[in-house]
A and B are shown apart, each in its own frame.
Chain A
Amino acid sequence: MTTTSDRPKASGSTPATSGRMSMRDRWNSLPRPQQWLLLIPVVVLIYALPVLNPPLLTTEPGTNFPLALFDAARFALIAIGLNVVVGQAGLLDLGYVGFFAIGSYVAALLTSPDSALWHIPYLWTLPLAMVVTMFFGLVLGGPTLRLRGDYLAIVTLGFGEIVRLLATIVGPLKGQVGFQGVGSPPGTNSAGQPIFTTSNGTAWYWLVVTITIAILFLVGNLERSRVGRAWIAIREDEDAAEIMGVATIRFKLWAFVIGAAIGGLSGALFAGQVGFVNNQKFDVPTSVLFLAAVVLGGSGNKVGVVLGAFVVSYVPNRFVELAAYKYLIFGIALIILMMFRPQGLLGARQRLLAYGRQAYLRLVGRPEQVSSDSSLRGEGEKAG
């Protein structure tokens, strides 16, 4: 499953020798505006995908292709959010689906006719979902972020389960009965039909891609800011960071809360597209799938996690005939991938941020040497 179009890019991993590194070097040495310029055709292609419906790539006749793309885009957004928590700050979160669920429920509770709450236009639920999930991120993160590693993992896992179980038990959240007719963005086409319907994957896909790009900009800027540097410091060595004056708890909380907000946003988008929210699919395996997307693509690398998310959501949709075997193949593929590329398809690189890049280029006369070590290398020795 890993061997489709990504393979040529992903293989040949030894850093010093492969041609890809030099491409990466060249890319890294470009000034930012030029990078943006080069990205434009890529972005145009991404937007055009559902209309092009390329023969080999398409998921039809199994699943509608634009909707499969929407699913992939939604996964990408989730992976970007989870990457802030896991990849940037190094906090292992097994209950991320809890935030996703809360976002979905915010959208459902405030737009579905099945809900007794006051109703607001759907688009307003997107920022509101982020605010609400940030609040829950604070509530959960505040007391628990002083826990280390695996204890944090089990607490977050417990949180995800508590959210799901409460959605089942608490009467007004309607359990499996769920909320029908969740709102969608306004707008009608020339025939007077609404644009954002459950079956119109293209419109939803464009909406999510646009939001994802905006989030990528925000997260990218955060990464290059003081906050981002603090996260990396914490991820690499929390004690050293603390000694060097990084307020670790505060920055961990930041990562947690920002990740939560993105999870909530994607949850609200998901609720809008499906138009129906109930307690299904907010379980531990789903959460694990989210994490798998991040690790598969390359924890800590934004482009990597988007790629990972694409693979995780696209492959089951593309190869529906595998039906009963897809999770078996998925499991084995994860094991094999971790053996040969434990840093993921596109691993994170230690590199200079912001102006450091240009400074290095001026002073040394060549682009910085990017270390190919996985960002989590140091921790690996514990497990050895």
Chain B
Amino acid sequence: MARARRIATIASAAALAVVLAGCAANTGGSSDTGSGGPSKVDVPEVTTLPVPPNAVKPAGNGQAQCASTTTIAFAGAQSGANAQLGINILNGAQLAVNQHNQANPGCQVQLKKFDTEGDPGKAPGIVTQLVSEQPTIGAIGLPFSGESKATGAIFEQAGLVHLTPSATNPSLTQNGWKTFFRALGNDAVQGPAAAKFITGKLGAKKVCVIQDDSDYGIGLAKTTNDALGAVAADCQDKVTTGQKDFSTVANKVIAAKPDAVFYAGYYAEGAPLDQQLVTKGFTGAFVGPDGVKDDKFIQQAGDASNNAFFTCPCVPGELLPEFADAYKGVSGGQAPGTYSLEGYDSATILLAGIDSGIKDRAGLLNWVTNYDKDGFSKHFKWDGTGELAATTVYGYKVQGGKIVYVGTIG
């Protein structure tokens, strides 16, 4: 082995020399840390969020009575690569159930968890099991649009009401499912709002729209492109889930010299894309939707993320201190994530129905269909298809390594 070791030493020495040579041209560059992606337009942070004074709380009046078997279910990813979103929602729902059970000794509702891994192939078997358990009278889920498409008909058949706190594909409400309710605005709302934000507040004259291959990214890119019109007409690109090297996309963007890039997809690809764009010299704004709005985005893009803005039909839950503190007790110290508050509100709506004396699926379905009250995140009232009657989109940006709220944008 002595020989091998000597060779290894020579190899490393050679590599070292090369690294040295390469970095020689880098003097001063490495110390120049402050120059990462300046945001041209200043959109000031907003630090308060009014809580609707009449928001329904899960605790209720403390007098509720119900059978000890009463169950609501959560179905969504708790393991696998897409787990984080599901866990955010689950923690929110768990918090609501905990608060409810603590306040109502006469009504202990069970929260049953089903792990779909976010996989449309796996979800039908799991949801079939979910609906076959009779004590379950309401459900929260499923988080992703693909698995929601694959399972909506099963819920419909069983007459089991379910609220999705995060599946935003517009077509989900066009299947005639009476049991499907969406606790947030869909992509058809977010796209135009994002377009307005980019051309309005950010003042972009030329925009590149890059989409991933997900149901979500494709739908969002379409609605955003429709609203952007000519400013994005000649700079479009697509990436695939799992892609790590974006050099051709970056080369295209650099050549087009846009003021802003809109990325329709998730942070897993959005973060390295932004990082590589900035590394190649892109100085405009990087705008992403709710799928990109995550602290992981900042971690994975590094200081390149300073140019990032987000749009989201989700409320900044961390600005509601009462909720944020209680949430940390359930999540093991993590701050509320994207859709935590939606999960909390969804569970609250079901719990309020149970507290009102409803004992069966038909009753709870009827309850949600006719629901018309404020929640923490928004006012909940649905139209005939399960779409919220009115929805708001919120704007965010990265500032000092954190996501901060910049006000409503549509």
Contacts and interface: CB of A to CB of B under 8 A. Distances in A.
B157 A178 contact: no
Given A281-B121, A320-B115, A275 B146 contact: no
A223 B153 CA distance: 43
A176 interface: yes
Chain B interface residue bracket vs A:
20 to 34
B359 interface: no
Given A63-B129, A323-B79, A180 B149 contact: yes
A168 B240 CA distance: 8
Nearest to B169: A177
What is the predominant secondary structure among interface residues of chain B facing chain A?
Answer: helix
Interface in B215-232: 215, 218-219
Contact of B218 (A63, A175, A323): A175
Given A180-B149, A274-B150, A197 B214 contact: no
Nearest to B126: A63
A199 B132 CA distance: 10
Contacts, number: 89
Interface string A334-346: 0000000000000
Contacts of B153: 197-198, 275
Contacts of B115: 320, 323
A278 B213 contact: no
A108 B409 CA distance: 40
A78 B120 CA distance: 20
Given A63-B125, A198-B153, A201-B128, A280 B120 contact: yes
B128 A199 contact: yes
B237 interface: no
Interface residues of A, number: 33
B249 interface: no
Given A67-B124, A275-B153, A280-B121, A62 B213 contact: no
A25 interface: no
B175 interface: yes
B167 to A, nearest CB: 13
Contacts of B214: 176
A178 B124 contact: no
Given A63-B126, A67-B128, A274 B218 contact: no
Contact of A280 (B128, B146, B218): B146
A212 interface: no
Interface in A161-200: 165, 168-169, 175-178, 180, 197-199
B133 interface: yes
A198 B124 contact: yes
B72 interface: no
Contact of B215 (A169, A177, A197): A177
B132 A64 contact: yes
B121 A178 contact: no
Contact of A178 (B78, B126, B154, B215): B215
Contacts of A67: 124-125, 128-129
Interface string A319-330: 010011000000
A177 B215 CA distance: 4
A177 B79 contact: no
Given A176-B214, A199-B154, A280-B146, A274 B129 contact: no
Nearest to A321: B115
Given A178-B146, A274-B124, A168 B213 contact: yes
A86 B81 CA distance: 31
A197 B132 CA distance: 14
Contacts of B125: 63-64, 67-68, 71, 201, 317
B119 interface: yes
A279 B133 CA distance: 31
A62 B130 CA distance: 9
A176 B217 CA distance: 10
A368 interface: no
Contact of A199 (B78, B114, B157, B218): B157
A208 to B, nearest CB: 14
Contacts of B132: 64
A236 interface: no
Contacts of A279: 213
Interface string A273-301: 11110111100000000000000000000
A198 B128 contact: yes
A61 interface: yes
B119 A280 contact: yes
B249 to A, nearest CB: 15
A198 B115 CA distance: 18
Interface in B128-151: 128-129, 131-133, 146, 149-151
A323 B78 contact: yes
Contacts of B78: 323
A324 B120 contact: no
Contacts of A320: 115
A193 to B, nearest CB: 8
A317 B122 CA distance: 10
B213 A178 contact: no
Contacts of B128: 64, 67, 198-199, 201
Given A178-B149, A274-B150, A323-B79, A64 B120 contact: no
Contacts of A63: 125-126, 129
B175 A61 contact: no
A276 B215 contact: no
A276 B149 contact: yes
Contacts of B129: 60-64, 67
Contacts of A68: 125
Given A176-B214, A270-B121, A320-B115, 18 more contacts: A61-B133, A62-B114, A168-B213, A175-B213, A175-B218, A176-B146, A177-B219, A197-B153, A198-B153, A199-B158, A201-B125, A273-B124, A275-B153, A276-B150, A278-B120, A280-B146, A281-B119, A323-B115
The 10 A-B pairs of least Cβ separation, nearest first, read A67-B125, A199-B128, A64-B128, A64-B129, A276-B150, A323-B79, A63-B125, A176-B215, A199-B154, A168-B213
14 contacts: A60-B129, A61-B129, A64-B125, A168-B213, A169-B238, A175-B213, A175-B218, A178-B146, A199-B131, A279-B213, A280-B121, A280-B146, A281-B119, A281-B121
Interface of B: 78-79, 114-115, 119-121, 124-129, 131-133, 146, 149-151, 153-154, 157-158, 175, 213-215, 218-219, 238, 240
